[in-house]
């Protein structure tokens, strides 16, 4: 089916044909699916640096990450030691392989690379940050702790934000659209949405897209501790992240990368490859309200979701599942719940809503991509991921959050929300074929 798109044009259909994952609960597709079904938490004590001086000392780290087995023989290992960028490259290679593409075929097609990422660690210098008292500890201690935030080989600070997309494009010799979206927690959803639109307009046959991030470093942890947005349940890390629960006290940082291959439908059919789902709608908005807090009425969130529905040409009644932004902060969960109620009207209490962040933490710029992947794989395998650690009802959060256990249920159309700092909102709709 093709949909009208403006005067004298048609929308191309866009499908997901490849998936690549680097996550705290598994970086192989089947392991990731199993973990989602089992309600497995990836949260534990921070090991990437000494966090003993911080109020929050837990995070959802990627365990036993060894990029060598996938990146050996490429120029990527020689050009960067940035953990985040290595996440992006490993996930991209996995996604390309999953889509049954090769380096040669990719270079011959009309393709692109669009990623979402964070801006850190682009700071004036480690020295100036220490001088400003933005991190704990003595000058010498923090210089050692922040070693990974210095310029790494081959990548000046001003170029670090784009290095993931650039390195993937260089590796595959992709000469089409290549850029990085920086919109906080909505970044990777925005990147996927932008890629979706390019293929719809027939400006590309496929795009490698998604996002990557890790803010599990002294700068990131200190920043979020300063905002008072992170859980401090250090003694019970696996129970700390509890979206929509009445005793929630903030999120737990995660890290990783999620990459999908978006491909024009007829192109994918001709290749005879597996199709995980069809991306049918994308909405984006800005609250224009606060740097840190969402609009109390959820106006921006509602606008993004409504735009995604309009873009997809469907009504709210056709949504079977919502993967919520669900950060476990007091304000976000309450406001997102209210926004869903306004969107879904009388069906709000019938539609399952869950937060996969309860298991994988908050990947910030990578969150939207990993959550779209979780949504798509769950739909493909006929289950709904749970919201783990949900035990105490909150009268302001009273929807069906699929508490603690996955639910065997067939879904055909799902909405994935990403609402970022600064009021940057993005919503994606994926359909099962």
Catalytic choice (171, 178, 185, 413):
185
| DSSP annotation string for 65-131 | --THHHHTTSSHHHH---HHHHHHHHHHHHHHHHTT--HHHHHHS-EEEEEE---TT--S-HHHHHH
Q: Which among 194, 208, 399, 195 is positioned nearest to 284, based on CA atoms?
A: 194
Q: Going along 159-303, which residue ranges are E strands?
A: 178-181, 206-214, 255-264, 277-286
User: Where is 364: in which H helix or E strand?
Assistant: none
- Report the chain's terminal Cα–Cα distance, integer Å: 12
Catalytic choice (325, 397, 411, 413):
325
433 vs 429: CA distance, rounded Å? 13
Helices (H), 282-394: 299-312, 330-344, 357-360, 367-380
CB 210 within 8 A of CB 181: no
Catalytic residue at 413? no
SS3 (DSSP) at 14: strand
CB 366 within 8 A of CB 346: no
- Which pair of tokens denotes residue 213? 């991030």
Q: Which among 245, 267, 279, 243 is positioned nearest to 379, based on CA atoms?
A: 279
Q: Which among 159, 157, 199 is positioned nearest to 176, based on CA atoms?
A: 199
Catalytic residue at 233? no
189 vs 183: CA distance, rounded Å? 9
Catalytic choice (295, 362, 411, 413):
362
| Active site members | 185, 325, 362
């Amino acid at each position: 089916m093709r949909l009208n798109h403006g005067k004298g044009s048609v929308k191309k259909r866009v499908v997901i044909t490849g998936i690549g994952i680097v996550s705290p609960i598994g970086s192989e597709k089947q392991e990731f699916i199993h973990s989602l079904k089992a309600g497995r938490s990836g949260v534990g004590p921070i090991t990437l640096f000494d966090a003993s001086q911080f109020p929050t000392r837990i995070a959802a780290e990627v365990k036993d990450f060894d990029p060598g087995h996938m990146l050996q023989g490429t120029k990527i290992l020689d050009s960067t030691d940035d953990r985040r960028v290595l996440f992006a490259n490993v996930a991209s290679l996995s996604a390309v392989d999953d889509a049954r593409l090769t380096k040669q075929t990719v270079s011959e097609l009309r393709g692109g690379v669009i990623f979402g990422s964070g801006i850190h660690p682009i700071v004036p210098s480690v020295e100036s940050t220490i001088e400003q008292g933005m991190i704990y500890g003595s000058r010498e201690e923090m210089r050692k702790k922040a070693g990974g935030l210095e310029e790494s080989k081959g990548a000046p600070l001003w170029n670090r934000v784009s290095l993931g997309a650039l390195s993937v494009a260089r590796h595959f010799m992709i000469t089409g659209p290549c850029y990085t979206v920086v919109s906080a927690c909505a970044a990777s959803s925005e990147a996927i949405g932008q890629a979706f639109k390019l293929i719809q307009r027939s400006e590309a046959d496929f795009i490698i897209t998604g996002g990557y991030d890790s803010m599990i470093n002294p700068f990131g942890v200190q920043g979020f501790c300063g905002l008072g947005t992170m859980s401090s349940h250090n003694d019970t890390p696996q129970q700390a992240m509890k979206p929509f629960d009445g005793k929630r006290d903030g999120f737990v940082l995660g890290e990783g990368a999620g990459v999908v291959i978006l491909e024009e439908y007829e192109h994918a059919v001709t290749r005879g490859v597996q199709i995980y789902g069809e991306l049918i709608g994308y909405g984006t908005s800005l609250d224009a309200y606060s740097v840190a807090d969402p609009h109390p009425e959820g106006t921006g969130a509602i606008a993004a979701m409504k735009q995604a529905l309009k873009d997809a040409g469907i009504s709210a009644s056709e949504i079977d599942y919502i993967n919520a932004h669900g950060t476990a902060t007091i304000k976000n969960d309450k406001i997102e719940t209210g926004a869903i109620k306004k969107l879904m009207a009388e069906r709000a209490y019938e539609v399952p809503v869950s937060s996969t962040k309860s298991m994988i933490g908050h990947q910030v710029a990578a969150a939207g991509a990993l959550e779209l992947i979780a949504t798509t794989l769950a739909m493909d395998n006929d289950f709904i991921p749970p919201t783990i650690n949900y035990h105490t009802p909150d009268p302001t959060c009273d929807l069906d959050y699929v508490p603690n256990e996955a639910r065997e249920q067939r879904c055909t159309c799902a909405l994935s929300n990403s609402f970022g700092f600064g009021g940057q909102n993005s919503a994606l709709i994926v359909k099962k074929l």
